[in-house]
Amino acid sequence: MHIASIDPGVTTGLVIAYIKPRVDQVTITPVLVEDIVTNHSVIMSHAIQYRCRNVFMEQKPAHPSKEGLDNWEFLFQKFTATYGYMPATTGKIQDHPSQHKVLWLIQPSHWKPFMKARTNLLPKNLPHHAKDACMMLHYSIQINYPDKEIIWQQKLQS
């Protein structure tokens, strides 16, 4: 299954990855990794193109800049109102039937401390905001599959 992870802001980090759960591990193979500065609608087209049923997006920050807030609200509205994603803050991927599209809102206070000591697990040479999106994806997959090792495969394209 393809999953998107988005770190929205003035510059938005985007990762779309193929996730494959196995008996004792989950492999994450990034297929698209980029920082997006101006055209945030491209995020929607990537998520639709890869048929991402699950999208992880950082929760709206407490004190965002106006432009960062505008980008967050644009993405939230597009995913929920235009494309029919159901917002969720709790639960697991496995709790939702495969036909449901879910926008998982992840608190920075949850994923950042968890990933602080685990950045060595990520692919190297990532753009700044895409790295945050990768860390949030790793955290989210680990929470969904707590008993499995998370393995990053080689990036396919960028």
Q: Please count the structural domains in the chain.
A: 1
- Establish if 158 belongs to a structural domain: no
Residue with tokens 């929470």: 143
Say what the pTM is: 0.90
Kindly give the confidence (pLDDT) of every residue in the chain, 158 residues in length, as a single tens digit, with 9 standing for 90 and above.
999 999 998 889 999 999 999 999 999 999 999 999 878 888 989 999 999 999 999 998 888 888 888 989 999 999 999 999 999 988 888 777 777 899 999 999 888 888 887 877 787 788 889 999 999 999 999 999 999 999 998 754 44
Residue 37 belongs to domain spanning: 2-152
Q: Could you tell me if 15 and 4 are in contact, meaning their C-beta atoms sit under 8 angstroms apart?
A: yes
Collect all residues with Cβ–Cβ distance below 8 Å to 1 and sequence separation of at least 6: 18, 19, 53, 54
